[in-house]
Amino acid sequence: MKEISVNRDPAELRKMLDYLGVAAFVIDVVSADEFLLAANNARHEQLTGMRLDEVAGRSVDELLTPEMVARVKANYRRCVEEKTATDYQETLDLPIGETFWQTTLVPFFDETGRVNRLLGTAYEISNQVHLELEARYQSTVMSAYLDESTDGILVVDANNQIKTWNRRFLEIWDIPEEVMVTRDGEAALQSVAEQLDDPVSFVQRVRELYCSLDEEEHGVHIQMKDGRVLERYSRGLHGCHGDYWGRIWFYRDVTELQRMTEELLHMSQTDPLTGIANRRTLMGTLEEEYRRAKRYGHHLSVLMLDLDHFKQINDRYGHATGDIVLKEFVGVVLPEIRVNDCFARMGGEEFAILLPETSLGSACRFAERLCRAVEDLTIDSPQGEIDITVSIGVAVLGDDDENPENLINRADRCLYAAKSEGRNRVRPRNDTDNCEDRMPGL
């Protein structure tokens, strides 16, 4: 190989090196431990800040930091010893900061065959390295997320073939291993569908989403044959230029959450002792029925019921027996209630029944029937037989009523009248349809 003489004509060598698009440098090999920078090109000068006229002929020990020297010399030595071109990546702390390089060293020999010079070319790969590090970081975070997620996650590519999935996905769905191994998206879809209550709509919706690349889905409920309920989230995956990469599916088992939500809803709507509706439910239903009755001009009646002398029962037999009485009372009334009626415990020993599509006359007749049924009831308690009676106030929605509370208040006033007139009775009586006429001022 022709020797390049930097000593004789460094300017000429420098010019040659400058034509290279990469950082280039020439190292004089003095010994296994001593290396001098003989020349560098403009790109190397620009990146390292080492001006040739200042550094030519100086040892790399002087030019670099001690730890860089150790790394750099190790590579030089390797090239010298192996007598062949050497490629490696290195990290250099330069004035411009920490940089990453892809470097190639080519050995040159003297007439005895000893390596006396190295030509180094290096191009900076900092951007690639940073991108790679970032990608590796992202993929580590993503793997951790996939592993730890309580959602079953499936990713398919632009051809709907399985790209990746997590452990939870296979816990939720029972899919044959070979389907996942072959990444057959269609087979996985069929296998999933077989586990559902309504496979046809499921498959149809999945196909729709595969066609609507931008469409997202949030929290759709899916009922499984085994009783579990899943919530599905899905969105298309797009590259930075909008190109479609595929779709990601999340499946969340919400069976327990749904059960608890239903339980809480039930608890918030019912009376725990008797299991019938509570005041809140009745008032909500009353609002709706009031609007409907007003809109269509239909009847709407309300019964307010209150057990007579209930305090005496409690005082005489104890609170626990009082509870039994309340439940027995409800047991007598319940069979009389129609589907659209609302029977609620308003509190204590006071109850209400909402009767849509019911005139005052019909409501009074119904109330009388209840009154008699309660009167006929004999309750077997640990302390012996107990007889009870109930007083009932009845009211019907009138044209003048501007809010549903009027109706309740009027029924309450009628109940008060029933109590003050001797209890165990209905007010108004069922021989009239006009409560207010019977009880002016109430």
Ligand X SMILES: Nc1nc2c(ncn2[C@@H]2O[C@H](COP(=O)(O)OP(=O)(O)OP(=O)(O)O)[C@@H](O)[C@H]2O)c(=O)[nH]1
Residue 322 binding ligand X, by CB under 6 A: yes
Q: Report the site for ligand X in 205-234 (rule: CB under 6 A).
A: none
Rounded least distance, CB 347 to ligand X, Å: 7
Do residues 86 and 63 lie in contact, with contact meaning Cβ atoms separated by under 8 Å?
Answer: no
Which of 311, 316, 338, 369 contacts ligand X by CB under 6 A? 311
Largest CA distance in the chain: 134
Of the two residues 172 and 282, which places its CB atom closer to ligand X in the complex?
282
Do residues 209 and 217 lie in contact, with contact meaning Cβ atoms separated by under 8 Å?
Answer: yes
Residue 348 binding ligand X, by CB under 6 A: yes
CA pair distance 145, 132, nearest whole angstrom: 20
- Select from 45-53, 138-146, 208-216, 315-323 the region that touches ligand X (CB under 6 A): 315-323
**Could you tell me the end-to-end alpha-carbon distance of the chain, in angstroms, rounded to an integer?**
122
Rounded least distance, CB 273 to ligand X, Å: 6
For helices 404-420 and 279-296, what crossing angle results, to 10°?
120
Reading the block at residue 89, the tokens are 């990546």
CA pair distance 168, 393, nearest whole angstrom: 59
Do residues 38 and 56 lie in contact, with contact meaning Cβ atoms separated by under 8 Å?
Answer: yes
Residue 275 binding ligand X, by CB under 6 A: no
Residue 349 binding ligand X, by CB under 6 A: yes
CA pair distance 312, 316, nearest whole angstrom: 6
Residue 319 binding ligand X, by CB under 6 A: yes
Residue 306 binding ligand X, by CB under 6 A: yes
Residue 341 binding ligand X, by CB under 6 A: no
- Select from 80-88, 92-100, 259-267, 321-329 the region that touches ligand X (CB under 6 A): 321-329
Hey, is 415 helix, strand or coil?
Answer: helix
Residue 62 binding ligand X, by CB under 6 A: no
The DSSP symbol for 333 reads H
Of the two residues 241 and 319, which places its CB atom closer to ligand X in the complex?
319
CA pair distance 150, 162, nearest whole angstrom: 20
Of the two residues 21 and 347, which places its CB atom closer to ligand X in the complex?
347
Residue 310 binding ligand X, by CB under 6 A: yes
- Select from 71-79, 208-216, 226-234, 307-315 the region that touches ligand X (CB under 6 A): 307-315
Question: β-pairing, 277-278 with 300-307?
Answer: unpaired
Residue 381 binding ligand X, by CB under 6 A: no
Of the two residues 115 and 313, which places its CB atom closer to ligand X in the complex?
313
- Select from 71-79, 211-219, 250-258, 319-327 the region that touches ligand X (CB under 6 A): 319-327
Of the two residues 195 and 391, which places its CB atom closer to ligand X in the complex?
391
Hey, is 82 helix, strand or coil?
Answer: helix
Residues in the chain: 442
Question: β-pairing, 277-278 with 342-347?
Answer: parallel
Q: Report the site for ligand X in 390-419 (rule: CB under 6 A).
A: 419
Positions that interact with ligand X (CB under 6 A): 273, 306-311, 314, 319, 322-323, 326, 348-349, 419, 423
